[in-house]
Structure 1
Amino acid sequence: MTQKLLLILNPISGNRKGKKHLPWMIDFFEQHGYLVDVYQTEKSLDALHRAQKAKNHYDVVVAVGGDGTINEVLNGLANTKTKLGVVPLGTENVLAQEFKLSQNFRQACKHIVSGSVKQVDLGKVTATPTVYDQARMPPQKTKIKPSTITRYFILMSGIGFDAHVAQVVAEKKMILKKLLGSASYHLTAVQEFFRYTHQPLEITLFDETSKPYAEQGYFVVVGNAKYYGSMLQLTHKADMQDGYLDVLLMKKMNLFNVFQCLLGGAIKNHNLFDDTSYFKTKKLVIRTIGKQPVLIHVDCEITGQTPATIEVCPRALHLIC
């Protein structure tokens, strides 16, 4: 039986490389026996909504773009049997690093037709919507606005400073990302570190073997993948098929502690430093100790603010890798 394949393309990713080579990709997949449809995104969440409509109607959905586009597509396919293929054309391409996927679009397409399928875990964030989140929500049948927003991630979720950096980069993305690429995040982080007010956080961790327990700090990374970006493995013990999320907590927030955190990610050992803690958990609840809520990102896309619950969804995605 002929299989159906949907290409969901972000036309501006990779300096518009995907759009330029779209005819080649269509021809390639058709030559390998697929019935091919194409959808090009125009705005935020287009990829998510199209993937939701595509689930269970296509055998394969291919995300052509960066980690943000991939995140939207997997949110539409989570907990279905539809397989996700990836043609990475973004700024960082962290998922490609994690699975050692080729960042050459031709090689990536060849891998989709010949690669194996893994059922991988996803993380799920249930958070308090920001004003921006509420503006992006589809029209509701009632005037009551949803009190929470839910989003899946395959790589990581960050709570605190890195979410603030992701928001600043997103607001200036057409300038910074085009000129500097992945360095836009590094430059923005340096610029914003002394401007940002670091809010104290409390995280409560849950697992099946012990009672819930709480920890406090200023910055949290919840990893489903090892890689965080720029070859750093902040959650270096993460395994996308172990049914757990890995949590890195920074208990203090100054330049010395940031250096320790980055060094721990580079050498894959955070146990050397007293001001960082590392956990594995199935679920955690995060709240701000102060009055000001803190932003949250999933795969570097801003999604809500504290308070929030983050939990693992085992084997929730069929990924061609």
Structure 2
Amino acid sequence: TKFALEAIKEGYLRVVAVGGDGTINEVASALVHTEATLGILPVGSGNGLARALKIPLAWEKACQLLLKGHIRRIDVGKLDGRYFFATAGVGFEAQLSHLYDKRKQAASRRGIWPYFFLAAREFFQFQPSEMTLDFTTPSGQKTITCSPFLVTIANTEQLGGGAVIAPGAVPDDGVFNLCIIREINFLQALYHAPKLFTREITRMPQMEVYPVTHLKITRTSSIPAYTEMLVHTDGEPTVGGPEVNISLLPQALQVLTS
């Protein structure tokens, strides 16, 4: 973020992020609400944003796009003080982000399969906690209280690695896709997980999807250990308080796309 901010101060109008979703998030965060355009060379393990924006994963083609691509303005999410550009979330997905981050620091194995092995191992350790979701849809306000397996706020379709959590999500349509998966058992998770890669995940009966522009998540559990909420923004782990607020900034970032 620091180098991107310096580039903007020096008058550069194009700033290229070389890396995965975490690196792209850091660079893009400095470009929000500026006239500078983000270029992406995806070299991460998930590359969720690059995949969603149809940016080639091959270096040569991605470099050509930096020269010949067109500028697209996309929406930006803001979770409390942190920006996100693909997805943010709480629940099981957020817990995995925290554990996976520690794993990356301790070992060099990365990618989608180590992530799924970790998910299978941690499934039985995860304890859903009750939370209240207050959100704004194009048709009005709605409130849901539940103990979800996961809650994903999707600006794009992709989680990364080809896993599609929100089929049809468009990053410049002025709404997020709020994806809620209610409590599920291991066999249900095992049965439905492949649907992430066939774009059929929304067919699972435990899943609900809502178009939203603002969302407040309040953890209602009275257990002291649950006063903090594990969250992630573009797969990067962070810790929120018992309440987090997510808002949408319409077309707040310029990106080079095909």
**Same fold per superposition (TM over 0.5):** yes
Q: Would you say how many aligned residue pairs link Structure 1 and Structure 2?
A: 250
**2:120 matched to 1:190?**
yes
Which structure 2 segments of 5+ residues have no match?
A: none
Aligned equivalents of 2:236, 2:31: Cα separation in 1: 17
2:64 — aligned with what? 110
Aligned equivalents of 2:153, 2:253: Cα separation in 1: 18
1:208/1:276 CA distance change after superposition, 3 Å:
closer
When structure 1 is superposed on structure 2, of 258-267 and 234-243 the one drifting more is 258-267
Aligned equivalents of 1:65, 1:180: Cα separation in 2: 13
1:72 — aligned with what? 26
2:5 — aligned with what? 52
**2:255 matched to 1:319?**
yes
Aligned equivalents of 1:222, 1:261: Cα separation in 2: 19
Aligned equivalents of 2:30, 2:52: Cα separation in 1: 21
1:208-244: CA deviations, max 9, x gaps?
4323433423210110001122322111121111100
**TM-score calculated relative to the size of structure 2:** 0.89
For the residue of structure 2 that corresponds to 1:103, the secondary structure is coil
1:19-61: CA deviations, max 9, x gaps?
xxxxxxxxxxxxxxxxxxxxxxxxxxxxx22223333521100
- CA offset at residue 282 of structure 1? 0.4
The one-letter amino acid paired with 2:2 is H
- CA offset at residue 275 of structure 1? 1.9
Q: Which has the higher contact order (CA 8 A, sep 6+)?
A: 2
The one-letter amino acid paired with 2:52 is E
Aligned equivalents of 1:283, 1:85: Cα separation in 2: 28
2:229 — aligned with what? 294
1:211/1:299 CA distance change after superposition, 3 Å:
closer
Identity fraction in percent:
26
1:28 — aligned with what? none
1:136-179: CA deviations, max 9, x gaps?
xxxxxxxxxxxxxx111111002011111111111121444x23
1:73-121: CA deviations, max 9, x gaps?
1111111110000111111111221122222223212210110000001
Structure 1 or 2, whichever has the larger Rg, is: 1
Give the root-mean-square deviation of aligned CA atoms.
Answer: 1.9
Aligned equivalents of 1:168, 1:254: Cα separation in 2: 21
Aligned equivalents of 2:140, 2:71: Cα separation in 1: 34
For the residue of structure 2 that corresponds to 1:152, the secondary structure is strand
Higher strand share goes to which structure? Answer: 2
Aligned equivalents of 1:279, 1:100: Cα separation in 2: 24
Aligned equivalents of 1:119, 1:246: Cα separation in 2: 18
1:146 — aligned with what? none
1:214 — aligned with what? 144
Give the conservation status (yes or no) of the 8 Å contact 1:77–1:317: yes
1:241 — aligned with what? 172
Aligned equivalents of 1:272, 1:61: Cα separation in 2: 39
**TM-score calculated relative to the size of structure 1:** 0.72
For the residue of structure 1 that corresponds to 2:122, the secondary structure is helix
For the residue of structure 1 that corresponds to 2:61, the secondary structure is helix
Which structure 1 segments of 5+ residues have no match?
A: 1-47, 127-149
